[in-house]
Amino acid sequence: MRIPLGVHLGERFTLDETWAVADLADEAGLDSLWVAEGRITRDAITLMTLLASRTQRIRIGSGVVNNKTRNAALMAATFKTLDEFAPGRIILGIGAWWEPLASKVGLPLHKPLKHMREYITVLKTFFRNEVVTFDGEFVQMDGVRFDRMYAENKPVPVPVYTGPVGMKMLELSGEVADGVYMDFLLPISYLDEAIPAIQRGLAKRAEPKDDFDLTQIIACSVDDSDPQEALNHCKAFLTLYLMQQPHIAKHCGVEPELVQRIQEIAGWPAAPDDVKRAMPLVSDELVRRVSACGTTSQAAETIEAFHAAGIRVPVLNPLGRKIETVQALAKTFAA
């Protein structure tokens, strides 16, 4: 079965791995590359610029940048510039950030739905090449637009995807965005509630939108010679996120008591030894429920199930043998 695949280039990728996977994905005809910007590791824009110059066909998205640290006008100009590097191949994936990181850098989450609505409204006005005047609670603009100084002044074809988890943000996404870039470590059953939430938002639009895109990151690890080792890479990843991002735990069917026990082992940020000590608390069954791991055929079966449930582009977040995992799954689905 041919399924369009993306690859999530997370913070765990070395630069050499990033280039190797980007080349592989572009040559294999995969759908998209997504550059993560969540923790205080790397910024997404630098890598996206390099990837835009390096690749020829593949789409490149931010997966995701936040709407708090970049002024909306600067964000619009940044992605206009990226579109000049790779015309028609750039996606602006944007999220509301996450706690506790947002508070730790002095930008706590406050009315995230209203903030996101204002921010996307302004972005889309810029991308239509219109004058922007907006007086919101979070975003203010006074008669500004793209400048004509160095480039032709015209609309910019950059779609805006959100990185939602909660149902209210999913519904807002259906109403104001072009697609969603849903998070990893969420089971297929999550879509039973998520897709109807998006559809409720789509129903609020003044004009129908038939091309709203559904993408979702899927943590994955393939090792045909040692499937348990592949599963253990996903287990370590899940354990880390249960420690540090409780909004994931809420939607992946984990008992609050388990999250509390795991979080008692480590502070923030968690060290690798903390994760290792907490891993025995996480069952193999839970890992299989929220990731695609094991042999190539086992991982492929999970990806097929996500696609059948409504995800147009499953986005691989490879762990462990990262390059080999992408190679194996690209060969399975892109042939």
Q: pLDDT exceeding 70 applies to what percent of the chain?
A: 98
Q: What is the pLDDT of residue 335?
A: 57
Amino acid, res. 90: I
Asked if 141 contacts 73 with a C-beta cutoff of 8 angstroms, the reply is yes
Q: What is the pLDDT of residue 211?
A: 96
Burial class (CB in 10 A: 0-12, 13-18, 19+), 77: middle
pLDDT digits (tens, 9 = 90+) for 136-177: 999 999 999 998 766 668 899 999 999 999 999 999 999 999
For residue 303, give every residue at least 6 positions away whose Cβ sits within 8 Å of its Cβ, in sequence order, or none.
Answer: 3, 5, 218, 220, 292, 314, 316, 329, 333
Q: Is the pLDDT of residue 269 over 90?
A: no
Burial class (CB in 10 A: 0-12, 13-18, 19+), 143: exposed
Helix and strand totals (H; E) in the chain: 14, 12
Q: Is the pLDDT of residue 101 over 60?
A: yes
Q: What is the pLDDT of residue 239?
A: 94
How many Cβ atoms sit within 10 Å of the Cβ of residue 46?
Answer: 11
Q: What is the pLDDT of residue 151?
A: 62
pLDDT digits (tens, 9 = 90+) for 45-65: 999 999 999 999 999 999 999
Q: Average the pLDDT over 7-29 and give the result.
A: 94
Residue 112's pLDDT band, with cuts at 50, 70 and 90, is very high
* Cα separation, 211 vs 174, whole angstroms: 11
* Cα separation, 300 vs 219, whole angstroms: 12
Token duo for residue 331: 């060969």
Least trusted range by pLDDT, from 58-67, 91-100, 161-170, 317-326? 91-100
Q: Is the pLDDT of residue 303 over 70?
A: yes
Token duo for residue 163: 């990185």
Question: For residue 263, what are the CA distances in angstroms to 190, 237, 241, 290?
Answer: 23, 14, 10, 19
Q: pLDDT exceeding 90 applies to what percent of the chain?
A: 81
In degrees and rounded to multiples of 5, residue 141 shows phi and psi of -135, 145
How many Cβ atoms sit within 10 Å of the Cβ of residue 217?
Answer: 25
Helix axes 44-54, 72-85, angle to 10 degrees: 20
Helix axes 112-127, 167-176, angle to 10 degrees: 20
DSSP collapsed to 3 states, 234-268:
HHHHHHHHHHHCHHHHHHCCCCHHHHHHHHCCCCC
pLDDT digits (tens, 9 = 90+) for 213-268: 999 999 999 999 999 999 999 999 999 989 887 677 778 878 889 988 998 887 77
* Average pLDDT for the chain: 93
Q: Average the pLDDT over 76-93 and give the result.
A: 96
Q: Average the pLDDT over 307-318 and give the result.
A: 98
Buried b (16+ CB within 10 A) or exposed e, 167-185: eebbbbbbbbbbbbbbbbb
Asked if 309 contacts 198 with a C-beta cutoff of 8 angstroms, the reply is no
Q: Average the pLDDT over 19-44 and give the result.
A: 93
| Model confidence, pTM | 0.94
Prior bond of 64 cis (ω within 30°): yes
Domains of the chain: 6-221+291-333 (3.20.20.30)
